[in-house]
Structure 1
C-alpha cells in the first residue's frame, strides 16, 4: 500500500458514515460538467458553470428526454452535495464516488442504480487506473470520472448521429455504452502489457541483468491491479443481465450480455498474462543460472589445463639433490615444450567435446 493511500485512509478513520471526503491522487483543480439532453427529436449539449445553471437547464427539458450529466473531476465536493440534495442521492453513495480506492460494485434501490467501475490505461509507460461512477434512473444518468480529460467525449458524437438506435433508447443503453467502452479499454492495456512482456522476455533470454528483476515485479503489480479491478466487473454485468434493477429494460439485456462476453474473454487474457509474468521470473532465474554456469565452465577449463602444468612445475621445484633432468642442457626448453603440448592437447580435446 502506498504512503498516499495510507494517509488517505487514516484521514477517513473515525469519520461518520456518509462523510464526503475526496480520497485519491489526481491533482484536479476544477471539475468540468456537461449536460447532454436527447431523444428522437432533440439533441443538446450544454457546458455547466454552476449548479444553478444546471437546475435551470434541467427545468426546461422534457420529462421523457434522456438527461446525461457528465462530471470530469470529483474534487468539487460542494457541487456533488448540491447534486445529491437535488436528486435525493444518499451521502453514502456520494462517499463511494469520492473514494477512488473503492472496489468496483453495483448497488440497486428503488430510486437509483449505482455502479462503480475502473478504467485502466498506460500513461507514459506507467500503469494508471481511473475511478468512474454512474448513478442512473429511468431518464437520468450521472457519470463521474476521476480524471482530468473526458474519456467519453466521443460518445456525444455517437448520440448526435445515433438516430437509428441511440436516440430511441433510454438511459440503460447509455449506461451500456459507457460500461462497454471502459471494459474494451482493458484490451488496449493488455496489448501494451503484452508488448512490454515480450520485449522483456527477449532481453532476459540474451542479456539478463539485475535491474530486470524490478521490471518483472512492476509487471506483477500491474497484473494484480488489473485483476482487482476487472474481476468485480463480472458481478456488475451479471446483475445487469439478470435485470435485478427495474431501470434495465429487456431490450438492453442483449447489449449488457455482449459486454459480459467481452469481460469473460478479458478474464482469460488476464490469466494468460499472470502466467506470462510467472514465466518471466523463471526465464530470469534460468538465464542467470546459465550465465553462472558459463562462468563456472570457463574457470573449470582453466583450472583443468593448469592442473598438469602445476604438477610438472611442482615436481621440478622440489629441492632434491639427485634430479638428473636438472643437469640436462635441454631440460628447461623440453619441459616447456611438454607443458605446451599438454595445454594444446587439452584445448583440442575440449574443442572436440564442444566445451569451449
Structure 2
C-alpha cells in the first residue's frame, strides 16, 4: 500500500496516510480485502470493483463516489491482462492495481511533477493521459507488423500467414474496443451530476475524449488495413489454387488422348494391322509424341500459360 498526497504536484508519502490534503492510495486486491478501514471511505469500499473479474473499461457514477475498472489491451510477461480498478471521492482516490501498471504511471507522475492542483479530478485526468500516452507507438508497431506481413504475402511467402494475420486483426480489434470504452468513460465523467468535478476538470475530460477519438480513428484505420491484407492473403491463396488446378487441367487435357490410344490398342483385337506390323510400336510412339506436341501448341496458342 502506497499513499500519495495530491498537492500542487503528486507527493509520495510511503505507507503514511496524508491527513489534510486530498490523497491517493495504491494497493492490490489482497491488501484491500485485509484493510477494511481507510479513513473516510468505510461506507463506499463495498462499491470497489473486482479487478480480477474486470473485462471492460467502465465508470459508475454514484451519489457518494465514482467507481470503475480499466482493462488495457496488453498483457504482462506471464500473459496476465493488464487491469486496474478505481474509486474516487471528492477528497480521496483508491487505485486497485494487481499487475503493477498503475504503480509505474504513479512513479512517472511523481517524476514529471505534473500539476495536479490539489484536485482528485485533475489527478485522475493525468493518470488517464499517461495510460494512453504511448498508445500511438503501439499502433504503429502493429502497422509495421502488418506491412511486413503484406510484403511476405506479395513475395509468395504464404506459409503460416493465416495465423499471423488473424492475430494482428484480433489485436487491432482489441485496441478499437478499448478506445470505444474509454470514450464512453470520458462521456460519463463529463456528464456526472455529482459535485466531484469542476467545469475545468470536465473540460479536461472533454480533451481526453477528443484524444481518445483520434486514437480510435487510428485503430479503425488499422482494422481496415488488416482486413484488406487478409483479403489480399485469401486472394493469393485462391490464385495459387487456380494455378495448381490449371496445371492439373493441362496435364489431364494433354494425356487424355494418349489414354484413349492406350485403351484402344489395349483391346488386342487380332484384326488390328498395327499389332503385326514390325513398325507398329515405333509408330504409336511417334503418334503419341505428335499428339503431346500438338496439345502443347494449342495450349500455348490459347495462352493457357
What TM bracket, shorter-length normalisation? Answer: 0.7 to 0.9
Gaps of 5+ in 1: 1-32, 49-53
State yes or no: 1:174 paired with 2:123.
Answer: yes
Tell me if the contact between 2:3 and 2:14 (Cα under 8 Å) persists in the aligned partners. Answer: yes
Change (3 A) 1:199 1:239: same
Aligned residue runs from structure 1 range 95-244, under 5 A: 96-101=49-54, 103-121=56-74, 123=76, 129-148=81-100, 150-152=103-105, 153-159=107-113, 162=114, 166-168=115-117, 170-204=119-153, 206-209=156-159, 212-219=161-168, 221-223=170-172, 225-242=174-191, 244=193
RMSD: 3.2
Number of residues paired by the alignment?
302
Aligned to 1:28: none
Tell me if the contact between 1:35 and 1:46 (Cα under 8 Å) persists in the aligned partners. Answer: yes
- TM-score if structure 1 supplies the norm length? 0.71
Aligned to 1:266: 215
Tell me if the contact between 2:68 and 2:85 (Cα under 8 Å) persists in the aligned partners. Answer: yes
Aligned to 1:323: 272
Kindly provide the CA deviation profile for residues 90-136 of structure 1, in whole angstroms up to 9, marking residues without a partner as x: 24322x14443254222334433334222222556x97632222223
Partner of 1:262, secondary structure, is helix
- TM-score if structure 2 supplies the norm length? 0.81
Choose which of 8, 13, 16 in structure 2 pairs with 1:46. 13
Tell me if the contact between 1:120 and 1:186 (Cα under 8 Å) persists in the aligned partners. Answer: no
C-alpha distance in 2 between matches for 1:270 and 1:169: 34
Aligned to 2:18: 58
Runs of 4+, deviation exceeding 6 Å: none
Cα shift at 1:157:
0.9
Tell me if the contact between 2:84 and 2:98 (Cα under 8 Å) persists in the aligned partners. Answer: yes
Partner of 1:88, secondary structure, is coil
Kindly provide the CA deviation profile for residues 129-177 of structure 1, in whole angstroms up to 9, marking residues without a partner as x: 3222222333433322231452312111122xx4xxx054522111111
Gaps of 5+ in 2: none
Aligned to 1:11: none
